[in-house]
Amino acid sequence: MNDYRLTVAGLGPGDAGLITRETWTQIEQAEQIVLRTRIHPSVSALDDVQIAYETYDPLYEEMGDFDALYAAIVADL
């Protein structure tokens, strides 16, 4: 049996200076990072230090509402 760990964390309400230290540590140690969207002021900090991530931005285009979007994200995770 495989042990998997999923950590859900927020990037804060604005720029990268508002990301908590614990969240930043989790980001640095993560094997895979999936963001709900790239459209967030803190994401540029990940780009600056070349942290790779995927986003669900394509789903925003496909889904008709947030309930459907979030259900699709949960199903994928």
pLDDT tens by residue, 10-67? 998 998 999 999 999 999 999 999 999 999 999 999 999 999 999 999 998 899 899 9
pTM of the prediction?
0.84
List the structure tokens of 19.
């990301």
Q: Which helix (H) or strand (E) holds 62?
A: helix 57-62
Instruction: Give the separation between CA 40 and CA 13, rounded to whole angstroms.
Output: 9
User: Please, are residues 54 and 77 in contact by the beta-carbon 8 Å criterion?
Assistant: no
pLDDT band at 5 (very low <50, low <70, confident <90, very high): confident
Distances, alpha carbon 9 to alpha carbons 1, 2, 12, 34, 65, in Å: 26, 23, 9, 11, 22
